[in-house]
Structure formats: structure tokens, C-alpha cells
Amino acid sequence: TIFIQERDYLTFLSFSLSTSKCSRRGVLVFLMMLGILCLLYFVSPPHWGTEFHQTYEDAGPYYVAYPQNYRFILDHPQKCKQHNPLLVVIVPVAPQHTEARHAIRKTWGNDSLVQHGTVVVLFLLGLPSGNNSKTLQLRIHQENLQHQDLLQIDFIDSYRNLTIKTMVMLEWLKERCPQTLFAAKVDDDILLNIRGLMMMLLSPSVPLSNYITGLVWYGNVVIRDPSNKFYIPHNVYPNSVYPPYPLGMCYIMSMDLPEKILQVSKEIKPIFIEDAYIGLCLERLNIAPTNPPNLDQFVVNPPRVYNRCYYAKRIAVMTNSPNQLISYWTDIHQPGPAC
Ligand SMILES: *[C@@H]1O[C@H](CO)[C@@H](O)[C@H](O)[C@H]1NC(C)=O
Ligand SMILES: *[C@@H]1O[C@H](CO)[C@@H](O)[C@H](O)[C@H]1NC(C)=O
Ligand SMILES: *[C@@H]1O[C@H](CO)[C@@H](O)[C@H](O)[C@H]1NC(C)=O
């Protein structure tokens, strides 16, 4: 619009100049018109052009489009009702990470606890983007037909949209699994020990409400360096440290929390760092995340050399690749004592 405005103004200018022909009256009229234009300019500041720019700057690239009415394209609304599991594990995964999903289905996602419905494992994805998105979407539909384990939401799946994914996951859990005791969010590169996790959760020391556990980070400093991947500007989050939160690689919560977190999230501006955002909600709820009873069962940086005995005792360990996940899991499950 600014372009058109400028052109109109120029037309008007040349028109005034040509009609005035240097007569004094003409000059006077011209100056008056100019004055009126200036007056209009200040009385009603120009929206053209700047309006979009300003909204964009306020929201910035740090704007997280949540809440919004996202829709499930693929859903399994009866999954929890059918199986009545004690634990539901949701694995947020990028649409193109087909191999990671296969690796999990072949390994911990096919534990007998999963086969018998005590634990339900589902993958959560957004929409694919980029050149091959149509083909990929077709494959995703086929994959879901075959395995019946994909939940897909209608927003573009991207790193910056992970908080949306987590919040929609909480909405799904609240709606679909009210009878379940626990929900876990597990990244797609995690080697998970389903049995170890169930044993931990069913110990009497673990409360059934207001409970969230994982590797808890305390006093994590907010990054103010714009070149850093985790940069958060002041106007998005003003404090210098985040409240404690369980690391996103694997956290587990009692089933009363999805609804509580969703409720307070309405008052808290979302940031794209999904686990830190859970921390902000927990702080508002006055709920402190708890470290697991045995802290060294959750591992971000495992020893460089594989050791069967070490892995057999862990609950959640980060891996480098789907192949590594499969080979470690296969070895742990060889017959014979692990240690
Ligand atoms: C899961 O395990 C069962 C045997 O326990 C096997 O028959 C089945 O093929 C496995 N599924 C996958 C996807 O590996
Ligand atoms: C998508 O296709 C265009 C044109 O064919 C190409 O220039 C671009 O690099 C491709 N992008 C990706 C991410 O592959
Ligand atoms: C996040 O999802 C929204 C809704 O689909 C989309 O408009 C936006 O571009 C996505 N953001 C990123 C960074 O991909």
C-alpha cells in the first residue's frame, strides 16, 4: 500500500505544480493542501507498511502459535480405553524420522508389557514440509495403517514448533487417557527400558499426583546470545534463569498434570524450548519436579564404549542413531546374565 500512497502523492504534486503555473494563488493552495496532508499525517499516523512490521517485531521469530485449535489428522482416540494401560509413552518425532520409529517398534516399543497393553506407545508428529512432503505424507498414512500408532497434528513440524507439540500432547492425554496412571514423553533417540521404568513408577514412594520426574535441571541460565540455538530475548522471557525442569529427552508425569499444566499455560507466554516451558508452568503450579529415585538411570552422555552391564541397569539413555539403538537393545536382550 505504501507504494500506491506514494504514487498518489506524486500525481497530486505534479498536478498542483502544473495547474498553479507559479501564480501566487496556486502556490497558496498548494501550500495549504500540503499543510492539510501534513496535518492528516500526524493526526492519523500512517499504518501502511509499518503495521505488519511492528506486529512481526513484537512477536518476532520467537512467537509460538499456541494455543490454537489444532486438529488431529491421524488419531487413535480409543487406544487408552481399549488397553487401559498403566503408562502411556508418547514419542514426539519428526515426520521424516521413519527409521527412528521403526527402531523403536522393533525394540523397546515391542516389549511384552507393550504387547499386553500395560504400556501404550504412540508417536506424535506434525505435518511434513519441504519438497517431498506429499510423498512423505502418503507414506505416513500407510505406516499408520500398518502399525496403528501415529498421532498427527495439523501444524508444520519443526524444531521451533516443539512446544506446540508438547502442549497438544498434553491436550490429547487429558482427553484420551484419563484412567491411565502415568504419561511419559520420550525422544525418538532414547533407548528406553520399559520394565525398569514400570518398576520405578510402581514403587510405593512414587506419588500418583502432582508428580513429574526425569533428569531435573536446576538454575539453567537463559541464553541471551542471539547466535545461540537456545537464544531467548528479554521481552519473551525476562528472568535470568529458568525454574527447575526435567530434561526433554524423557520425562514422566502423573496423569493429573496434563490438565493442570494446560490450565496455567493460558497465563504463561510460550517459549520454543519445550521442556523449559513445562518448567515455567510447574513453577506457576508450585509443583517441584523430582529427580528419579536412582539418578544415574537417566543418561544424556553415556560412556563412549558400550558396556552391556552398564546399559542393562539404565532406564533412559540417549543414543546416536537408530542403528545404535537397535544394536544396543539387541545385545542387552541376549540370553545370559548382563553383568
Ligand atoms: C514384536 O515381537 C514379537 C514377538 O515377541 C514378534 O513376533 C514381532 O514381529 C515383533 N514386532 C516387531 C515390529 O518387531
Ligand atoms: C527443493 O527443490 C528446489 C527446486 O527443485 C531446490 O532448489 C531446493 O534445493 C530443494 N530443497 C530441498 C530442501 O531439498
Ligand atoms: C509452526 O506451525 C505453524 C502452523 O502450521 C506454521 O505456520 C509455522 O510456520 C510453523 N513454524 C515453524 C518455525 O515452522
Task: Render 303-335 in DSSP notation, one character per residue.
Answer: -SS--HHHHHT-SEEE-SSHHHHHHHHHHHTSS
More confident call, 253 vs 38 = 253
Nearest CA to ligand 2 atom 14: 131
Domain for residue 339, yes or no? no
**Is the same domain home to 208 and 273?**
yes
**Pocket flag, ligand 1, residue 110 (CB < 6 Å):** yes
Distance from the alpha carbon of residue 104 to the mean position of ligand 1, in angstroms: 11
CB-CB contact of 86 with 181 (8 Å): yes
Report whether 20 contacts 30 (CB < 8 A). yes
Q: Whose CA is nearest to atom 10 of ligand 2?
A: 131
The β-bridge relationship of strands 182-186 and 190-192 is unpaired
pLDDT for 61: 83
List Cβ neighbours of 24 (8 Å cut-off, separation of 6 or more): none
What is the best residue among 62, 96, 137, 160 to mutate for testing ligand 3's pocket, by most ligand atoms within 8 Å of CB?
160
Tell me if 320 is assigned to some domain: no
- Which has more pLDDT, 277 or 12? 277
Task: Please give the pLDDT value at position 43.
Answer: 56
The verdict on 27 and 79 lying in the same domain is: no
Question: What is the mean predicted confidence (pLDDT) over 79-100?
Answer: 98
**Residue 265 located in a structural domain:** yes
**Ligand 2 centroid – CA 131 distance (Å):** 6
Same domain, 148 and 216: yes
Pocket test for ligand 1, best of 105, 108, 110, 115 (most atoms within 8 A of CB): 110
> Is the Cβ–Cβ distance between 95 and 126 less than 8 Å?
yes
**C-alpha 245 – ligand 2 centre gap (Å):** 38
CB distance 131 to ligand 2 below 6 Å: yes
Average pLDDT of span 303-323: 96
Task: Check pocket membership of 155 for ligand 3, CB cut-off 6 A.
Answer: yes
Among the listed residues 207, 203, 216, 205, the one whose alpha carbon sits nearest the alpha carbon of residue 288? 216
Strands 245-254 vs 212-217: parallel, antiparallel or unpaired: antiparallel
**What 3-state DSSP class applies to 74?**
strand
Q: Which atom of ligand 3 lies nearest, measured to the CA of 61?
A: 13
Q: In which element (H, E) is residue 186 found?
A: strand 182-186
Q: Are residues 133 and 230 in the same domain?
A: yes
Of residues 312 and 53, the one with the higher pLDDT is: 312
Q: Which atom of ligand 2 is nearest to the CA of 130?
A: 13
pLDDT tens readout for residues 238-250: 999 999 999 999 9
- Ligand 1 centroid–CA 157 distance in Å is 29
pTM for the structure as a whole: 0.83
- Compute, in angstroms, the gap from residue 165 CA to the centroid of ligand 3: 11
42 and 77 together in one domain:
no
Is the pLDDT score of 230 beyond 60? yes
Do 106 and 142 sit in the same domain of this protein? yes
Express each pLDDT in 164-183 by its tens digit.
999 999 999 999 999 999 99
CB atoms within 10 A of CB 186: 26
| CB-ligand 3 contact for 94 (6 Å cutoff) | no
User: What confidence score (pLDDT) does residue 267 get?
Assistant: 95
Statement to judge: residues 29 and 109 lie in one domain: no
Q: How confident is the model over 260-290, as pLDDT tens digits? A: 999 999 999 999 999 999 999 999 999 999 9
Q: What is the pLDDT of residue 131?
A: 92
CATH number at residue 253: 3.90.550.10
Residue 141 has pLDDT above 80, yes or no: yes
Residue linked to cell 504387547: 115
- Provide the domain count of the chain: 2
Minimal-distance CA residue to ligand 3 atom 14 = 158
Report the percent of the chain where pLDDT is more than 90. Answer: 81
CA of 157 to the centre of ligand 3 (A): 7
Q: What phi and psi, each to the nearest 5 degrees, are found at residue 83?
A: -100, -20
pLDDT of residue 13: 43
Same domain, 36 and 78: no
Ligand 1 binding pocket includes 106 (Cβ within 6 Å): yes
The residue segments making up the domain with residue 26 are: 2-46
* Residue matched to cell numbers 513408577: 201
150 and 260 part of one domain: yes
Mean pLDDT of the residues in the chain: 89
Same domain, 120 and 202: yes
CB 67 within 8 A of CB 148: no
pLDDT over 90 at 68, yes or no: yes
Among all bound ligands, the one having the nearest atom to the CA of 128 is 3
Contact 186, 93 (CB under 8 A): no
In the predicted model, is pLDDT for residue 76 greater than 70?
yes
Kindly state the average pLDDT of the residues 187-211. 97
First to last CA, the chain: 73
Over 60: is that where the pLDDT of 83 sits? yes
In a domain, residue 312? The reply is: no
Supply the pLDDT for residue 51: 34
Model confidence at 34, pLDDT cuts 50, 70, 90, reads confident
Average pLDDT of 2-16?
44
Partnered with residue 214 across adjacent β-strands are 251
Residue 47 pLDDT > 60, yes or no? no
| Residue 41 in this model has a pLDDT that exceeds 90 | no
Residue 79 located in a structural domain: yes
Per the model's pLDDT, the better-predicted residue between 43 and 212 turns out to be: 212
Cell (9 digits) for 306: 558400550
CB 93 within 8 A of CB 128: no
**Are residues 17 and 156 both part of a single domain?**
no
Q: Which of 161, 162, 274 best tests ligand 3's pocket when mutated (most atoms within 8 Å of CB)?
A: 161
In a 3-state reduction of DSSP, which class is residue 259? helix
Q: Whose CA is nearest to atom 14 of ligand 1?
A: 106
Starting from the CA of residue 130, give the closest ligand.
Answer: 2
> Residues 283, 243: contact at Cβ < 8 Å?
yes
Least confident of 31-45, 50-64, 71-85, 139-153: 50-64
Q: Which of 258, 275, 294 is the last residue of a domain?
A: 294
